[in-house]
Amino acid sequence: MYISSRAALVRNLSVALLNGTVTLIILLIAPLGLAAVIINTILVTIASFVNATAGDAIINFLQPSQIKTLLAQVIEQQSQLTKKNKNTK
């Protein structure tokens, strides 16, 4: 599944805002100070965005095209090392 970086950003922001909104509603019911509610809501929103972005990075890393590129780089490095070893002997 391919998703553009703009679509991923919009999705991650919407997930973060939704999580922040749910957290704000829950915390406003609880008997806490307003500063604690606001800070906690902001931290949950930021953490949700970071986690969704990290998940996207992991999914991108595991894409078959990315794996093929990494394998090609490893094979190229191995062939260069083999050539160096043959030249030094």
**What angle is formed at CA 31 by the lines to CA 28 and CA 32, rounded to 5 degrees?**
80
pLDDT tens track for 61-87: 777 776 677 788 888 888 888 888 887
For 1, half-sphere exposure in the C-beta direction (CA atoms, 13 angstrom radius) is: 5
By C-alpha distance, which of 4, 10, 78, 12 is closest to 49?
Answer: 12
For 11, half-sphere exposure in the C-beta direction (CA atoms, 13 angstrom radius) is: 12
Q: Which one-letter DSSP state was computed for residue 33? A: -
Radius of gyration of the chain, Cα coordinates, nearest whole angstrom: 23
Q: Can you give the pTM of this predicted structure?
A: 0.58
The per-residue pLDDT for 66 is: 67
